[in-house]
Amino acid sequence: MSRLFSESHRALLRYVRRLVGSKEKAEDIVQEAFLRTHEQRQNVTTPRAFLFSAARNLAIDARRHERMAQTDSVGDFDSSGVVSGGATPEAQVLSDERSRLLREAIEHLPPQCRAVFALKVFHACSYQEISERLGISVKTVEKHVGRGLDGTRQYLRRQYRNAGLDT
């Protein structure tokens, strides 16, 4: 575990800081990610991938919590009489549902595949950058991205088929 810490701490801290925009928040998230990785060490086959995936998830949760706190502090818009200039409620519900399904699909991927896929899709990292961050070959990154695409597509097809939405 100490080797993982020494080899990954700085890169992970930079990665998380870009996600949350704050050095203090990034340090807290990185510490929590290392703790979770340590706690799950018996169940994890690729600790570095698990570590980066856990940190990403924690950063997303922190940003979501921050947005919710900002919304809560503004008050109740329903009683204010302000009309939203954004998407219709129906469009927002559909967008939220698509996002939820995509997150579920990605969560069903194996840990290392999930970490690679998330870095490529959500953070637009190059294959080389992912390779360096996770300590795997570029060829392995390519395979994981392909498997991630196939896995998410298959999951989404099953969900739409089960809901009777396939055409």
pLDDT digits (tens, 9 = 90+) for 121-139: 878 888 998 888 888 999 9
Q: What is the pLDDT of residue 74?
A: 40
CB atoms within 10 A of CB 156: 15
**Secondary structure (3-state) at 40:** coil
CB atoms within 10 A of CB 83: 7
pLDDT digits (tens, 9 = 90+) for 86-109: 567 877 887 788 878 888 888 888
Report the CATH number of the 87-167 domain: 1.10.10.10
Which of 29, 20, 120, 160 lies closest to 9 in space, CA to CA? 29
In the chain, where are the structural domains located? Answer: 1-76, 87-167
Which of 151, 153, 140 lies closest to 49 in space, CA to CA? 140
Binning pLDDT at 50, 70 and 90, where does residue 147 land? very high
Greatest CA separation for the chain? 57
